Amino acid sequence: MPQNDNLKLFHSILMEFDRIGILDDFILIGSWALRVYRENFKQDPRIPIVATQDLDFLLENPVKVTRSVDVGSILAQFGMEEERSVSGQYAKFVGVDMEVEFLFPDKGRGASGGIRIP
């Protein structure tokens, strides 16, 4: 797929997420975020553009969503199918030319606030 078509697909997915009211429930990260930064900061050449085919969104841990939505059905409109790991702990949506992943931050030591040292 030519890069311009990927850009149209990216835009269409974001617009659909915004239309149904879930765009505020996660954060765009990864290489597509750089494209948004560059566009909004006067095409500054210091902001690199890396061409990837995966669109990454970060969710809070624990997940805080404003409404229940079948994301799989939404992405199916764009020719994407859900793909799960063997363990069932990981899912992404895969199309011919793009993947959409919803990622969760790991909570490691200190997630509970840490230990207070006098």
What count of Cα atoms within 13 Å lies in the side-chain half-sphere of residue 36?
11
pLDDT band of residue 40 (cuts 50, 70, 90) is: confident
Q: Look at residue 87 and tell me if it is in a domain.
A: yes
Q: Look at residue 57 and tell me if it is in a domain.
A: yes
Domains in the chain, number: 1
More confident residue, 10 or 38: 10
- Tell me: pLDDT of 36 over 60: yes
- Tell me: pLDDT of 112 over 60: no
The DSSP bridge pattern shows strands 81-84 and 54-58 to be unpaired
pTM of the model: 0.75
Q: How much of the chain exceeds pLDDT 70, in percent?
A: 81
Q: Look at residue 50 and tell me if it is in a domain.
A: yes
The model's pLDDT over 57-105, given as tens digits with 9 standing for 90+, comes to: 888 776 777 778 899 999 999 999 999 877 766 779 999 989 999 887 7
Domain, as residue range, for 71: 3-103
